[in-house]
Amino acid sequence: MKRKQPKHTPTTLPKSPTGITGLDEITGGGLPSGRPTLVCGSAGCGKTMLAMEFLMRGATQFGEPGVFMMFEENAQELTANVRSLGFDLDQLVAQKKILLDHVHIERSEIEETGEYDLEGLFIRLGHAIDSIGAKRVVLDTIEALFAGLPNHAILRAELRRLFRWLKDRGMTAVITGERGEGNAITRYGLEEYVADCVITLDHRVADQISTRRLRVLKYRGSAHGTNEYPFIIGERGLSVLPITSIQLDHAASAERIPTGIARLDDMLGGQGVYRGSSVLITGSPGTGKSSISAKFAETACRRGERTLIFAYEESPAQVRRNMRSIGIDLAPWEKKGLLQIHSSRPTMHGLEQHLVMMHDTVVAFRPSVVVVDPISNLTLDRGEAEVKPTLMRLIDFLKKQEITSVFTSLTSGSTAASAPEDSQVGVSSLMDTWLLLRNVEFNGERNRTLYVLKSRGMSHSNQVREFVLSEKGIDLVEVYLGADRVLTGTARVALETQERAAAELRAQDHDRKLRQLAAKRKALEAQIAALQAEGEAEEAEVNFAIAQETLQTRTTQQNFDAMAHLRGGVKGGNTRTKGKR
Amino acid sequence: MKPEKPKQYELRLYVAGQTAKSLAAFANLKRICETHLAGQYRIEVIDLTKNPALAAGDQILAVPTLVRRLPEPIKKIIGDLSNEERVLVGLDVQPVMA
* DSSP result, A186-251: STT-GGGT--SEEEEEEEEEETTEEEEEEEEEEETTS----SEEEEEEETTEEEE--GGG--S---
Give dist(CA A467, CA A440) in Å, integer: 11
- At residue A154, does pLDDT exceed 80? yes
Give the single-character DSSP code of A29.
S
Rounded mean pLDDT, B70-87: 86
Residue B98 pLDDT = 55
Searching chain A, which residue's CA lies closest to the CA of residue B91? A111
For the entire predicted model, the pTM comes to 0.65
Q: Could you tell me what percent of chain A has a pLDDT over 70? A: 87
Instruction: State the nearest Cα–Cα gap between A47 and chain B, in angstroms.
Output: 23
pLDDT at A62 over 50: yes
How many angstroms away from the CA of A126 is the closest CA of chain B? 8
Q: How far apart are CA A182 and CA A564, in angstroms?
A: 168
Rounded Cα distance, A275 and A260, in Å: 14
Cβ-defined contact of A127 to B74 (cutoff 8 Å): no
Cβ neighbors of A91 (< 8 A, separation 6 or more) are none
Burial class from Cβ neighbours inside 10 Å (0-12, 13-18, 19+) for residue A531 reads: exposed
Lowest mean pLDDT among A70-84, A326-340, A343-357: A343-357
Judge if the upstream peptide bond of residue A141 is cis by omega within 30 degrees of 0: yes
CA separation for the pair A361, A342 (Å, rounded) = 9
Looking at residue A483, its pLDDT comes to 57
Residue A39 three-state SS: strand
Confidence (pLDDT) at A7: 47
| Among chain B residues, CA nearest to A115 | B79
CA distance A214 to A229: 5
Pairwise CA distance, residues A97 & A64, whole Å: 8
- Give the ipTM of the model, two decimals please: 0.88
Query: Lowest-pLDDT range, A159-163, A370-374, A398-402, A526-530?
Result: A398-402
Work out the percent of chain A whose per-residue pLDDT is above 90.
15
CB A137 within 8 A of CB A171: yes
Using 50, 70 and 90 to split pLDDT, how confident is the model at A577? very low
Facing A120 at nearest CB: one of B55, B83, B89: B55
Mean pLDDT, to the nearest integer, of A106-119? 83
Q: What is the pLDDT of residue A209?
A: 66
The C-alpha atoms of residue A448 and residue A223 are separated, in whole angstroms, by 53
If you average pLDDT over residues A438-462, what whole number do you get? Answer: 82
Give CA–CA dist A319/A331, Å, rounded: 10
Q: Which is higher by pLDDT, A473 or B19?
A: B19
Q: What are phi and psi of A183, to 5 degrees?
A: -90, -5
Strands A278-283 and A273-274: unpaired
Model pLDDT for residues A222-280, shown as the tens digit of each residue = 877 777 887 877 777 787 876 554 456 667 788 888 888 888 888 888 888 888 888 98
Query: What's the gap in Å between the CA of A40 and the closest CA on chain B?
Result: 23
Residue among B57, B13, B61 nearest A106 (CA): B61
Q: Which stretch, A80-89, A381-390, A452-461, has highest mean pLDDT? A: A452-461
Q: Is the pLDDT of residue A525 over 90?
A: yes
A/B interface, count of CB pairs below 8 Å: 99
- Dihedral pair phi/psi, residue A306, rounded to 5°: -75, 140
- A269-328 pLDDT, tens digit per residue, is 888 888 888 898 888 877 888 888 888 899 999 999 999 998 888 889 988 898 888 888
Q: List all residues 6 or more positions away from B77 whose beta carbon is below 8 Å from its beta carbon.
A: A110, A111, A112, A113, B65, B66, B68, B86, B87, B90, B91
Contact A492, A477 (CB under 8 A): yes
Q: Which chain A residues have a beta carbon less than 8 Å from that of B81?
A: 113-114
pLDDT of residue A521: 93
Looking at residue A208, its pLDDT comes to 67
CB contact under 8 A, B87 and A113: yes
Q: What number is the average pLDDT over the span B74-91? A: 86
B82 to chain A: closest CA residue: A114
- Distance between A164 CA and the closest CA of chain B, angstroms: 18
Residues A124, B55: C-beta atoms closer than 8 Å: yes
User: Is the pLDDT assigned to residue A205 strictly greater than 60?
Assistant: yes
Check whether A201 has a pLDDT greater than 60: yes
Task: Closest CB to A127: pick one of B55, B61, B83.
Answer: B55
DSSP letter for B9, please: E
CB proximity list for A203: less than 8 A, separation 6 or greater: A41, A42, A44, A45, A46, A210, A211, A212, A213
Element (H, E) at A336: helix A331-336
